[in-house]
Structure 1
Amino acid sequence: MMQTNKRNTIAVILAAGKGTRMKSDLPKVLHPLLGKPLIHYVTKAVMDAGVDDIYLIIGYKAELVKNSLGNKYHYVEQKQQLGTGHALMMAAEQLKNFAGDVLVLVGDAPFLTPVVIKNLIDKHQKEGASCTMMTAIIDPPPPYGRIVRDNGGNVVRIVEDRDATEEQKRITEVNTSHYCFRSEDVFPLRGKIENSNDQKEYYLTDIVELLTKNKFPVITIPEDDPDILKGINSQEDLRTSVKKLKNDVINFHMSNGVLFPYPDLVYIETDIKIGKHTIIHPFSYISGKTTIGTSCEIGPFVTIKNAAIGNNCHINNKSVIDEIANDDMQT
């Protein structure tokens, strides 16, 4: 774990939405990505960055989300999904006695890393800002909020793509929806945010504009890796994310001496441990907390879940393993 931050820092993760474009009854943040819910990757990155106090804003099927994720987190229920700004202000009631920094992240960004989160917090605290936003320069820009600056380069506001003028749409600096706020500056704004937009919602972007109008310092930190910023908004997004993450996992094992003759034809989850000189043949399905020793041969057409496989084992075609396999075992 990285070094603890100088100011007390908590995380608020936005996880209340249904995710309409997923076209699923399952809450978006519970959709599985290599065996774990999307939000797991965000909470793990936050904790690995040194922030252990996490508040999850939940709404759609709130009980299912709580039952799925357990009691490791604080839960704040947003019974009406009235926007991201409203979500943060729901947390403000529970956090009214908290003085420190509030990391605000979306729950559907599984490729956020501890380093990126730590950099956001560190810059925020070093500069003494009221708000630090993570932004990205993307040309041509996607349909995200644009960062509007004055002639001196200071942040003025964020304008949503649907509300932007043609000139503003040409701005290539976009909002990533990841922030760090000073609680002492942002929580007093509760009740001052308006919903004067077509959606009648309260936006985090409006909080940013309120801060700038009241001369509070708002700064940005750029992130240039588009994969890190990728959110999941559709089943197609989820499919491409599964492919990317699985490739990352397989590349990690290959760099440590594991052979995958046909890597595209293997399913493997993130917590798997495999020893050197092991061969994983196609159509192997390896999941859970599985460990595989050195110099093994696995598959093809093998299912392994939560198993401990020793060294020099040969797990043959169509085997199903969910227990301990001692050294030199053949199936």
Structure 2
Amino acid sequence: MDRFVIVLAAGQGTRMKSKLYKVLHRVCGKAMVNHVVSQAEKLQPEKIITIVGFGADAVKEELGLKTEYVLQEQQLGTGHAVLQTEKLLAGKKGTTVVLSGDAPLLTSATLEALFADHQENHRSATILTATAPNPSGYGRIIRDELGNVLKIVEQKDATAEEAAVTEINTGTYCFDNEWLFKALSEVRTDNAQGEYYLTDVVEILQAQGEIVGAYKMSNFDESMGVNDRVALAAATKVMQRRINEEHMRNGVTFYDPERTYVEADVKIGADTVIEGGVSLRGTTTIGADCVITAGSDLRDAIIDDQVIVKSSNIEESHVLAGSDIGPYAHLRPASTVGPNVHIGNFVEVKKATIHQGTKVGHLTYVGDATLGENINVGCGTVFVNYDGKNKHHTNVGDNVFIGCNANLVAPLEIAKNSFIAAGSTITNDVPEDALAIARAHQENKLAYAKKLPYHKD
């Protein structure tokens, strides 16, 4: 039987108190609505249709071609939102699931179970429910004495007795697609909000003798909807625990998973060790047998096998196998390091390629440069790449020795096997096997120090 998915993502989310539309707020690096659509894709539906309204262009930019879109110009309720898909879905045979774009924790496994329960019981509608420790704010599931679902009552419309019910509506539903649109045409606005409630479809279907039921999921956390920053933080905590547990089950060691932030699209190889206080963001990929120590922050980085990163920042850069970075190094975008390269403490690398066996020990800036193999870069070296208007490149050949406190003023070619004397400012190309010295001649003025006011006898 064909499956269809509708994602509700038209609301502004005023309780977020943000310029960013609610469904675009991120949970572990991924917009909430993108989490929802990603799980929906695993169901392999015929169509995914996202209802957009406020921030429509931004939602479309986030989701791209993963979904079709329908615009809800006026926010007149969830029933009205689903009705906007009528031209795309009405008359089609199959099952439609309706999802909330602000419920990022729902999994495809739960949705598959919902579909199965719906079809096995030959229902026209199945509500996904959960037992809430604190049901305040949720719609309540009202059953008869035999346990059959009678209706869903929204918080604002609930009596005291109904408000005491702890089984809640998660905002996710399965419908026979043809019956869904028949019932939507009968929904009215006689409620506290003056809106077209999707939940009213339940009573309409029952009145017509259709089978309506509920599937209660075991994990309440999955039902969490995000309406404010407090709920956003809670959802992030749950998602973080889920992500880290998956990595640990796949062979990654976390010293302190509660203090390790890993975003949804990060990949980590087996036998890698991640210390507490580490942040792994974006599309970062880490190979096997690596060590990432406390305080490291990696974004969109590629880290090959057997790399050690000590308390360092790496952005949009590639570190090849066997290299070590830090402590307190910073690889800025478009840098490639390794294999077997050493980048030491307080070294900054930007838009540079550093080849095998080269060592950049400490207190050095390498920008807009290509370094060959087995180079030693002395402490305090600066690749002077900026003339105030344009950036310029420096090429350093294999086996070059660069002494401490050297300034390499680009554009510059330093040929292989050459030597840069400590304290030199190099402005001209250096030939192969040459020694380059560019520093002022030293002059000692005997006994002159005695004339200085801070001299001590």
Settle same-fold status: TM greater than 0.5.
yes
- Corresponding residue for residue 233 of structure 2: 239
Q: 1:228 aligns with which of 222, 229, 248?
A: 222
Displacement, 1:11?
A: 0.4
More displaced stretch, 302-311 vs 236-245: 302-311
Q: Percent identity?
A: 38
Q: 1:170 aligns with which of 158, 164, 177?
A: 164
- Corresponding residue for residue 32 of structure 1: 26
Q: What SS is found at the alignment partner of 1:71?
A: helix
Deviation digits for residues 25-53 of structure 1, max 9, x if unmatched? 21111101111100121112112133252
- Which residues of 2 match residues 1-331 of structure 1 at below 5 A? 7-51=1-45, 53-138=47-132, 141-331=135-325
- Give the structure with the larger helix fraction: 1
Distance 2:141 2:89 in 1: 28
- 2:34 counterpart letter in structure 1: H
Distance 1:275 1:140 in 2: 39
Displacement, 1:140?
A: 5.5
Distance 2:311 2:139 in 1: 52
Displacement, 1:71?
A: 2.0
Displacement, 1:8?
A: 0.7
Cα 1:261/1:139, change in 2 over 3 Å = closer
More displaced stretch, 276-285 vs 43-52: 276-285
Q: What SS is found at the alignment partner of 1:204?
A: coil
Maintained 8 Å contact 2:16/2:22? yes
Displacement, 1:146?
A: 1.9
Please list every run of at least 4 consecutive aligned residues from structure 1 whose deviation after the TM superposition is greater than 6 angstroms: none
Give the aligned length. 325
Deviation digits for residues 43-85 of structure 1, max 9, x if unmatched? 1211213325200011111111112211221101101110001
Displacement, 1:329?
A: 1.0
Displacement, 1:129?
A: 1.0
Displacement, 1:274?
A: 2.0
Q: What SS is found at the alignment partner of 1:209?
A: helix
- 1:330 counterpart letter in structure 2: D
Distance 1:168 1:282 in 2: 45
More displaced stretch, 246-255 vs 108-117: 246-255
Maintained 8 Å contact 2:10/2:72? yes
Distance 1:49 1:133 in 2: 18
Q: TM-score scaled by structure 2?
A: 0.67
Maintained 8 Å contact 2:254/2:275? yes
Distance 2:169 2:238 in 1: 23
Q: What SS is found at the alignment partner of 2:213?
A: strand
- 1:100 counterpart letter in structure 2: G
Displacement, 1:152?
A: 4.2
Root-mean-square deviation over aligned CA pairs: 2.0
Maintained 8 Å contact 1:56/1:74? yes
- 1:127 counterpart letter in structure 2: N
Which of structures 1 and 2 has the bigger CA Rg?
2
Cα 1:27/1:158, change in 2 over 3 Å = same
- Give the structure with the larger strand fraction: 2
Displacement, 1:151?
A: 4.0
More displaced stretch, 32-41 vs 148-157: 148-157
Distance 1:236 1:316 in 2: 33
Maintained 8 Å contact 1:261/1:281? yes
Which gives a bigger RCO, structure 1 or 2 (Cα 8 Å, sep 6+)?
1
Cα 1:319/1:129, change in 2 over 3 Å = closer
